[in-house]
A and B are shown apart, each in its own frame.
Chain A
């Protein structure tokens, strides 16, 4: 018990002792995961909607890929992105390895299947009458998707939350493609890994508290989308 008390004390003092350093890590975490989520849902939500409403050659394969992608280990995605952007790799000339840009690319690859999968479930789960109504209105495709997303908005909101949760909590991909370089590519999760490895639990706990707070804040603000229809209009 004495040990745990010490750790909590260290965590409290870490906020003051490493304040500026921690702030930098928090800012980078929010930037990388925020941009990844935005890009990921911009692709994933339309993709999930199309997969729920349309049948076309290859759509079954795409659905399978999305389902697999939802559960793929982040380290594998990190490894794959690393190979693509490695100096000798196909996109090596871009020089993105160990930069925040590479971290965003890896996290977008993680966010897209989650956003698409949850959206697909939400749109596909709309009552048959709603889908039938959408299908018999002779609408252009973009309008059909817009209506479907609007009707499934609480589920689509969950897709955004899930995508953000996937990227902010993962450590494998950002560690591999970012390299956990202090002041450049260190984010909260890689900071926790780094500090626990060196038995500096105080900072690790402090970073964990921040991570939890961010997750909670995002869930609460996006949770507004989960309100039932007709409320707050």
Chain B
């Protein structure tokens, strides 16, 4: 379906024309903070909710008075409620159900509401920054759970996180200043200059250009001496995309012990401390950005100039034609 949306207002002005939403697919609305993503999603909650059912998770979900378990089961019949408890277990909040909801941390509340939202049978799933309140160390796991759960469902996910685009999106809509900059199939959009520009503004993304060919149901991209295996069926000039958080660092000698399809040895080029994590740039022939926890970095005891093992799961890499 295609929607035209105009919402006048100071901070939240929207001028959206021809927004494409595909049933059965996940659309990720991507853009910087203040682009109008949340305003757009809240509009969709009302619009899609008027003709069908929506399961909606807000950026800061509200807990009602009562136990966490009461909040988890709100509006769910017995079967979805059981499913919600399973999901709560998998999200690590299953043992908190007896606790009063106000005593939970922001991240715990969010995971509880995530479990409830995914368990709810609905025509549309509308998620506002579903990864933002998740602790850094758990993001990869939660993202793969989300990818699995949203498969085949109609979903709109708002995010400024490149990992969410790479991991979840079938269809990508880039918005900025209340307008659509670009939209289309994920492989079409992430090959575009506007996506690269957005990704660069938001940082923490690895975009590696090279030459790709299909192989065993996966896709292998060569860029100089570096080989990257990922998802896709590109054949020819292509680009590989993966988030900095998808990259793990290991001691150089441990590289054969890990299960990831992509393992390289590189030299640490820079280490910069950000709010919750550390960004490490490693030269493996091309430059790769890895976002790791300060604790992980401490365990590795590395410094600029040291050799280090770099790994990325093939499932976290999207390869598209350019």
Q: Is the beta-carbon distance between A136 and B45 smaller than 8 angstroms?
A: yes
Q: How far is the CA of A189 from the CA of B75 in the complex (A)?
A: 48
Answer yes or no: B53 CB below 8 A from chain A CBs.
yes
SS class of chain B's interface: helix, strand, loop or mixed? loop
Instruction: Say whether, besides A138-B120, A150-B64, A151-B65, A132 and B56 are in contact (CB < 8 Å).
Output: yes
Q: How far is the CA of A166 from the CA of B321 in the complex (A)?
A: 74
Q: Is the beta-carbon distance between B64 and A151 smaller than 8 angstroms?
A: yes
Q: How far is the CA of A132 from the CA of B43 in the complex (A)?
A: 11
Q: How far is the CA of A204 from the CA of B66 in the complex (A)?
A: 48
Q: Is the beta-carbon distance between B102 and A233 smaller than 8 angstroms?
A: yes
Q: Per a CB cutoff under 8 Å, which of B49, B56, B60, B74 touches A139?
A: B74
Answer yes or no: B55 CB below 8 A from chain A CBs.
yes
Q: Is the beta-carbon distance between A129 and B75 smaller than 8 angstroms?
A: no
Contact with A along B43-86 (1 / 0, CB 8 A): 00100010001111010111011100000001100000000000
Interface positions, chain A 128-149, Cβ under 8 Å from B, are 129-130, 132-133, 135-139, 143, 147
Could you say which residues of chain A place their CB within 8 Å of the CB of B287?
Answer: none
Could you say which residues of chain A place their CB within 8 Å of the CB of B56?
Answer: 132, 136
Interface positions, chain A 155-177, Cβ under 8 Å from B, are none
Could you say which residues of chain B place their CB within 8 Å of the CB of A139?
Answer: 74-75
Interface size class of B (residues with CB under 8 A): 20 to 34
Q: Is the beta-carbon distance between B102 and A230 smaller than 8 angstroms?
A: yes
Q: How far is the CB of A129 from chain B (nearest CB, A)?
A: 6
Of B42, B54, B58, which is in contact with the most chain A CB atoms at under 10 Å from its CB?
A: B58
Q: Is the beta-carbon distance between A138 and B75 smaller than 8 angstroms?
A: yes
Answer yes or no: A229 CB below 8 A from chain B CBs.
yes
Could you say which residues of chain B place their CB within 8 Å of the CB of A129?
Answer: 58, 60, 62
Q: Is the beta-carbon distance between B45 and A132 smaller than 8 angstroms?
A: yes
Q: How far is the CB of A28 from chain B (nearest CB, A)?
A: 37
Q: Is the beta-carbon distance between A147 and B64 smaller than 8 angstroms?
A: yes
Contact with A along B18-49 (1 / 0, CB 8 A): 00000000000000000000000010010001
Top 6 nearest A-B pairs by Cβ distance?
A: A137-B75, A136-B56, A133-B62, A230-B102, A139-B75, A150-B65
Q: List 14 A-B contacts (CB under 8 A).
A: A129-B58, A129-B62, A130-B62, A132-B42, A132-B45, A132-B56, A133-B64, A137-B74, A138-B53, A138-B122, A139-B74, A147-B64, A150-B64, A233-B102
